[in-house]
């Protein structure tokens, strides 16, 4: 489904990403964890052809991402606020996404109504522009916009940050409730959420994959002890 | 306390993003101010000579007051449209231990130093010396000047008050412009002689003091009204934008029936009308269409200049939009790049949109036929050149604009993110066809020259698929740099 080969990205001397090989299979739920500056966003951006790699390639659904644009109809992503159009109302934004993606109106309604609880009455039928919404609500709009596409591969960067506790739990359920064949890529600082949602956890450090583990009941504890140990090391 | 506030204001002025970081932007602003300053100064110094040929030549004082009266009419309309008072400033200061009244006074005091008040002084001061003083002596001229400045300040605060009540509703812009137009119309036809009243009032000022007191009282009165109103809503929530204006409420959903082009066009229209900066630019540009009323009267300008002006008129929207097509959308650039639409398809839609935008200003510009029968010919050639050559050229230039433009910050003279290259592109676009045309017009083959300029444009239009392909290739090469640029600022 996604294949990464010898991918390298440097900013000056700093290595932002250096991945020899990574293969992602259909339906996998992948959690990307790491401290600030570990290269999570860079890796996702490379996969989405938003950043140009210095070497190596990303093959998405059979195409090199830098060559073909076909994969774009099969994926959707929400990385940050640069994925919402701030002078539209949420409803107009959803409509725009639906039009560009050729999604039927009835399907749009169906998919959005499944998020009613998540929206908590503050997103739809509002006369506010997205730029006037709170950070958390902006995020909800962006996530909903990405879910609207019902893609084969979904990328979410830090989706839990800025959400209130109830919304975080709801979002966990929403992600878990997506069709089984959907591949989902979630990056997060929050180890608990990753442990809940993802079956495969990749730990990044200085742009490299340092651990790639199958998640089980103990994953969260394991992750926590890993990062705790790291910070102890740094103190010495 | 005043010192601290002034310190803030000083820093705010010099570090303001609106001034622009590029030297070119500053130079442009400098030229703009110098140009109008010089015009006002010369007009002030040589007012009597300037009106030598008009029918009011024998009554220079009356002519002066008539001119000032009309200027004040225009002034209030322009102020209502363009003058802004930052209410964000209030939020910065609200929680500091400064009395609210002081903050409001500081904000209102700051508004006195706007160009709207300073530029007219460049005219009023010399004109008081050159025209008023010989007639009435020094002291009455000074009193006259004080009275005039008081009227300017009256306009200043009146505009703030009007602006508050209409809260950005463009219908009221039209209404206030219409009202000013009506007063002008009634006056110039002599139905209600407003300017004569104005003249009489200010002439009385030179002998008696009481009219000055009335003018000052009115100015102070309106100031207190504004101050009181601002004090009443001096809460952070009160100064936050509450409701969208009428313009912003338009959603242009009619466009959505035109397939992919419609979707792009609808988003463009929303981008234009819901973001203060772009909206102001477009409205300002459209107002400039009326400048033709002045330009085309009489035979002041040669055909080369008329072509230059024609290029500007037919391309107003293209000039202020095409080369910023990515930087205006910088805040959601990554979304555009991950949506399933090909660059080529997207650029095609934008091209079509820009052609329609050209038509929107070209068609009304044809009405100048009634002032100069050559205009339709000239503007048609200009239209084709804009559509065939300038649009693709500026779309290409757009891929070099790596700075995101703050779209919803203050509109007037906002230079944030603008640099020298962009002015250069505009000059190339407006001057290249003029240089092509120049030899033909000098040798007397004016029509042939127009035919060639228009023909080049038509050729460009025929090769549209080719140019689109070129821009697509360029975009695909530059998009990473653009993403990085928009992300970092």
The ipTM (two decimal places) reads: 0.89
CB contact under 8 A, B338 and A76: yes
Task: Give the A:B interface size as CB pairs under 8 Å.
Answer: 77
User: In Å, how far is B328's CA from the nearest CA of chain A?
Assistant: 11
Distance of CA B108 to the CA centre of its chain: 23
Closest by Cα among A46, A54, A50, A49 to A22: A46
The verdict on a CB contact (< 8 Å) between A76 and B334 is no
Asked if A75's CB is within 8 angstroms of B331's CB, the reply is no
Give the closest-approach CA distance of A124 to chain B in angstroms. Answer: 16
CB-facing half-sphere around the CA of A212: CA atoms within 13 A: 8
Start-to-end C-alpha separation, chain B = 34
Q: Indicate the SS3 state at residue B19.
A: helix
Copy the structure tokens of residue A144.
């909903």
Extract the tokens encoding B73. 């009419």
The mean pLDDT of chain A is 89
Q: Does the structure show a pLDDT above 90 at B280? A: no
For residue B315, the 8-state DSSP code is T
Helices (H), B167-244: 170-188, 194-204, 210-232, 236-239
Place of tokens 């008072």: B85
pLDDT of residue B25: 60
Of B243, B266, B331, the CB nearest to A82: B331
Classify strands A153-157 and A75-78 as parallel, antiparallel or unpaired.
Answer: parallel
Q: In what order do the strands lie in the sheet with A183-188?
A: A75-78, A153-157, A183-188, A29-33, A200-205, A208-214
Tell me how far the alpha carbon of residue A69 is from its chain's centroid.
Answer: 20
Tracing tokens 């300029």 back to the chain, one arrives at B453
**Does the reported pTM lie above 0.95?**
no
Interface contact B196, partner A, CB < 8 A: no
Q: How far apart are CA A25 and CA A147, in angstroms?
A: 20
Q: Answer whether residue A236 shows pLDDT above 60.
A: no
B-chain residues within 8 Å CB-CB of A146? none
**What's the confidence (pLDDT) of residue B243?**
39
pLDDT of A220 reads 76
Kindly report the nearest CA distance between residue A163 and chain B, in angstroms: 21
Nearest to B332 among A48, A51, A85 (CB): A85
Choose among B134, B149, B142, B114: nearest CA to B45: B134
Of A72, A81, A88, the CB nearest to B339: A72
* pLDDT higher than threshold 90 for residue B392: yes
Q: What is the pLDDT of residues B291-307, one digit of tens each?
A: 777 778 766 678 888 99
Residue B161 scores a pLDDT above 90: no
Closest chain A residue to B241 measured between Cα atoms?
A: A132
Instruction: Give the model confidence (pLDDT) of B457-471 as tens digits.
Output: 999 999 999 999 999
Strands (E), A69-171: 75-78, 153-157
Determine which of A172-176, A207-211, B113-117, B232-236 has the lowest per-residue pLDDT on average. B232-236
The greatest distance separating any two alpha carbons of chain B, rounded to the nearest whole angstrom, comes to 76
Return the structure tokens found at B298. 């009489």
- pLDDT tens per residue, range B162-174: 877 766 566 677 7
Q: What is the CA radius of gyration of chain A?
A: 18
Beta carbons of A123 and A90 less than 8 angstroms apart: yes
Are B337 and A49 within 8 A, CB to CB? yes
Q: What is the mean pLDDT of residues A105-130?
A: 90
List the structure tokens of B317.
């929207």
* Contact by Cβ (8 Å): B126, B248: no
Q: Say which range, A91-105, B87-101, B245-259, has the weakest mean pLDDT.
A: B87-101
Q: How far apart are CA B324 and CA A82, in angstroms?
A: 17
Task: Output the pLDDT for position B242.
Answer: 38
pLDDT tens for A56-113 read 999 999 899 988 888 999 999 999 888 999 999 999 999 999 999 999 989 999 999 9
Choose the closest CB to A87 out of B271, B338, B484.
B271
Is residue B311 predicted with pLDDT exceeding 90?
yes
Task: Indicate the pLDDT class of residue B450, thresholds 50, 70 and 90.
Answer: very high
Best mutation target, B254, B267, B336, B340, to test chain A (most A CBs within 10 A): B340
Handedness of CA B112, B116, B118, B124 (dihedral sign): negative
CB contact under 8 A, A82 and B244: no
Higher pLDDT, A72 or B178: A72
Bridge partners of A3, per DSSP, are A23, A59
* A129-147 average pLDDT score: 92
β-bridge partners, A22: A4
Interface check B309 vs A, CB under 8 A: no
pLDDT at B244 over 60: no
- Interface mutation vs chain B, best among A44, A80, A83, A87, most B CBs within 10 Å: A87
Query: pLDDT at residue B451 above 50?
Result: yes
Which of A73, A79, A101 lies at the smallest CB-CB distance from B334?
A: A79
Residues B295/B338, Cβ–Cβ less than 8 Å: no
**Predicted pLDDT of residue B13:** 57
CB contact under 8 A, B270 and A48: no
Q: Which of B251, B331, B335 sits opposite A92 (nearest CB)?
A: B251
| Mean pLDDT of the residues in chain B | 82
Q: Which residues of A touch B335 (CB under 8 A)?
A: 82-85
Closest of B462, B115, B411, B100 to residue B272, by C-alpha? B411
| DSSP 8-state class, residue B130 | I
Highest mean pLDDT among A126-135, B252-261, B372-381, B396-405: B372-381
Tell me which DSSP letter residue B390 carries.
Answer: I
- Parallel, antiparallel, or unpaired for β A200-205 and A55-60? unpaired
DSSP 3-state assignment of B398? Answer: helix
State the DSSP code for B131: I
Distance from the B454 Cα atom to the nearest Cα atom in chain A, whole angstroms: 35
Question: Residue B458, Cα to own-chain centre: how many angstroms?
Answer: 31
Query: Which helix (H) or strand (E) segment is B41 a member of?
Result: helix B23-45
Do residues B265 and B351 make contact, with C-beta atoms less than 8 angstroms apart?
no
Cβ-defined contact of B335 to A82 (cutoff 8 Å): yes
Task: Measure A54 CA to nearest chain B CA, in Å.
Answer: 12
How many Å lie between the alpha carbon of A205 and the closest alpha carbon of chain B?
A: 22
Contact between B317 and B357 (Cβ < 8 Å) = yes
């Amino acid at each position: 489904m996604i294949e990464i080969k010898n991918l390298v990205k440097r900013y000056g001397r700093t290595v932002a990403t250096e991945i020899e090989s990574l293969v992602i299979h259909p339906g996998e739920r992948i959690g990307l964890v790491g401290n600030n500056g570990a290269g999570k966003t860079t890796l996702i951006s490379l996969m989405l052809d938003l950043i140009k790699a210095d070497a190596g390639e990303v093959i998405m659904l059979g195409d090199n991402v830098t060559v073909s644009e076909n994969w774009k109809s099969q994926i959707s992503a929400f990385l940050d606020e640069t994925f919402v159009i701030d002078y539209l109302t949420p409803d107009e934004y959803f409509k725009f996404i639906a039009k560009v993606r050729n999604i039927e109106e009835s399907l749009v309604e169906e998919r959005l109504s499944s998020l009613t609880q998540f929206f908590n009455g503050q997103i739809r039928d509002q006369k506010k522009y997205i730029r006037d919404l709170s950070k958390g609500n902006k995020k909800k709009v962006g996530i909903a916009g990405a879910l609207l596409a019902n893609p084969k591969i979904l990328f979410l960067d830090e989706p839990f940050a800025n959400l209130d506790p109830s919304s975080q739990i709801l979002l966990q359920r929403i992600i878990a409730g997506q069709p089984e064949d959907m591949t989902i890529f979630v990056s997060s600082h929050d180890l608990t959420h990753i442990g809940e949602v993802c079956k495969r956890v990749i730990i990044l450090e200085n742009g490299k994959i340092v651990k790639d583990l199958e998640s089980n009941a103990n994953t969260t504890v394991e992750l926590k002890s890993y990062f705790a140990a790291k910070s102890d090391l740094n103190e010495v | 306390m005043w010192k601290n506030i002034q310190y803030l204001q000083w820093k705010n002025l010099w570090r303001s993003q609106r001034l622009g970081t590029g030297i070119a932007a500053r130079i442009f602003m400098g030229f703009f101010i110098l140009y109008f300053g010089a015009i006002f100064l010369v007009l002030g110094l040589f007012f009597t000579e300037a009106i030598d040929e008009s029918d009011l030549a024998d009554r220079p004082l009356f002519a002066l007051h008539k001119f000032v009266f009309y200027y004040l009419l225009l002034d209030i309309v322009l102020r209502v449209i363009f003058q802004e008072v930052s209410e964000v400033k209030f939020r910065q200061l609200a929680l500091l231990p400064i009395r609210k009244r002081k903050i409001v006074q500081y904000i209102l005091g700051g508004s006195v130093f706007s160009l709207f008040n300073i530029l007219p002084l460049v005219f009023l001061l010399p004109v008081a010396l050159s025209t008023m003083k010989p007639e009435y002596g020094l002291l009455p001229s000074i009193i006259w000047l004080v009275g005039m400045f008081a009227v300017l300040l009256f306009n200043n605060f009146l505009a703030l008050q009007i602006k508050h009540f209409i809260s950005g509703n463009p219908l009221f812009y039209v209404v206030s412009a219409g009202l000013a137009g009506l007063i002008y119309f009634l006056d110039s036809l002599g139905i209600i002689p407003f300017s004569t009243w104005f003249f009489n009032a200010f002439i009385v000022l030179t002998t008696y003091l009481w009219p000055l007191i009335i003018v000052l009282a009115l100015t102070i009165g309106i100031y207190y009204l504004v101050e009181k109103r601002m004090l009443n809503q001096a809460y952070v929530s009160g100064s936050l934008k509450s409701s969208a204006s009428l313009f912003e409420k338009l959603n242009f959903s009619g466009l959505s029936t035109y397939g992919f082009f419609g979707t792009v066009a609808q988003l463009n229209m929303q981008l234009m009308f819901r973001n203060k900066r772009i909206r102001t630019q477009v409205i300002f540009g459209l107002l400039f269409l009326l400048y033709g009323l002045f330009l085309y009267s009489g035979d002041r300008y040669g055909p080369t200049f008329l072509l230059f002006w024609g290029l500007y008129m037919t391309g107003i929207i293209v000039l202020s939009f095409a080369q910023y097509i990515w930087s205006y959308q910088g805040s959601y650039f990554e979304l555009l790049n991950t949506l399933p639409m090909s660059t080529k398809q997207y650029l095609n839609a934008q091209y079509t949109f820009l052609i329609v935008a050209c038509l929107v200003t070209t068609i009304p510009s044809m009405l100048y036929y009634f002032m100069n029968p050559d205009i339709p010919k000239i503007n048609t050639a200009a239209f084709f050149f804009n559509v065939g050559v300038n649009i693709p050229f500026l779309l290409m230039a757009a891929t070099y604009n790596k700075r995101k433009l703050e779209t919803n910050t203050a509109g007037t003279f906002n230079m944030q993110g603008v640099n020298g290259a962009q002015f250069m592109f505009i000059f190339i676009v407006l001057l290249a066809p003029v240089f092509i045309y120049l030899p033909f017009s000098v040798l007397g083959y004016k029509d042939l020259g127009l035919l060639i300029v228009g023909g080049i444009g038509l050729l460009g239009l025929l090769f549209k698929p080719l140019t689109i392909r070129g821009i697509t290739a360029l975009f695909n090469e530059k998009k990473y740099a653009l993403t990085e640029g928009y992300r970092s600022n």
